[in-house]
Amino acid sequence: MELSNDLGNLPSAGSETKKTKETFQYIVIKLGSEDFGIDINYIDNILRMQQITRVPRVPAYLKGVINLRGDVIPVMSLRLKMGLPEDEIGRNTRIIILKIESEGSVGVIVDEVREVVTLTEDQLEPTDEGKGPEAGRFVSAVGMNGDQLISILDIATINLDDN
């Protein structure tokens, strides 16, 4: 966690430094067929899928609450939040616990956690805001790791309660 100094996962466009390229680390997760990246600074923990206690009368993407070392943590479905089909819980399903300063911890369900990648700023291409499909709302940039495309998730947007 020694890397990027700010919480934003986007380097300012057209930043100059060539000598020491700023690098960012992302955990690459899979949702459906697409790869997404989550800034490693937000990640508190990665858990295997476990029993989630349903909370009645909340939006569908809020799957419920789990017990994380004695704390009750809400868990949401990233798929539902992003307008993708319902999760298919399998062997690789994981809950990623994100720690967001202003809002506390929240777990997100992902299909699979693949790897950790390090990208330099010139490997990141900011997306136009508010453009693209439903899922695009939550993507702040696209990272190119060789021929792999990684949509970088804007955690702040995901956690914004838009109900």
Partner 1 sequence: MDVSQYLEIFLDETNEHIQNLNTQILNLEQNPEDSDTINEIFRAAHSLKGMAGTMGYKRMQNLTHDMENVFSEVRAGNIKVGPDMIDTLFQCLDAIQEYTDNIKNTSDEGTNDNEPLIKLLNNYLNGDSAAKTPEPSKAKEEKSKDSGSGDAADKWNSIKFNDSQIKVMKEAVKSGLGVYGLNIKVKESCILKAARAFLVLKAIEEKGGEIIISDPPSQDIEDEKFDLDFTLIVLSEGSVNDLIKAAADVSEIDKVVGAAIDVDAIRLDDEEPAESAEESAAAGPVPAQPAQTEAQAPARQAVSPTASNAKPGERKPAKPIVNRTIRVDIEKLDSLMNLVSELIIAKNSLVSASGESASGLNSDFNEKIEYLESVTTNLHESVMKVRMVPIENTVQKFPRMIRDLNKKLGKKMELYMTGEDTELDRTVVDEIGDPLMHLLRNSADHGIEPADVRISRGKPETGSIFLDAYQEGNSVIIEVRDDGNGIDVDAVREKAISRGIITAEQGAAMADKDIINLLFSAGFSTAKEVTDISGRGVGLDVVKSKIEALSGEVSVKSVLGEGSTWTIRLPLTLAIIQTLMVVVGGEKYAISLGSIETIETIPENDIKHVENKEVINLRGQVLPLIRLNELIEIESKPPADGNLIVVIVKKGDKMAGIVVDELIGQQEIVIKSLGRYIKQVKFISGATILGDGEVALIIDTNALL
Contact residues toward partner 1 (CB under 8 A) are 51, 53-58, 62, 64-67, 70-74, 76, 103-106, 159, 161, 163
Q: Based on CB atoms, which residue is closest to partner 1, 10 or 65?
A: 65
**Minimum distance from residue 142 beta carbon to partner 1 (Å):** 28
Find the distance separating the first CA and the last CA of the chain, reported in whole Å: 33
**Minimum distance from residue 77 beta carbon to partner 1 (Å):** 13
- Here the tokens at position 132 are 């693209």
Strand, coil or helix: 69: coil
Q: Based on CB atoms, which residue is closest to partner 1, 88 or 161?
A: 161
Question: Residue 102: which of 20, 42, 18, 14 has the closest Cα?
Answer: 42
Distance CA 9, CA 66 (A): 28
**Minimum distance from residue 159 beta carbon to partner 1 (Å):** 8
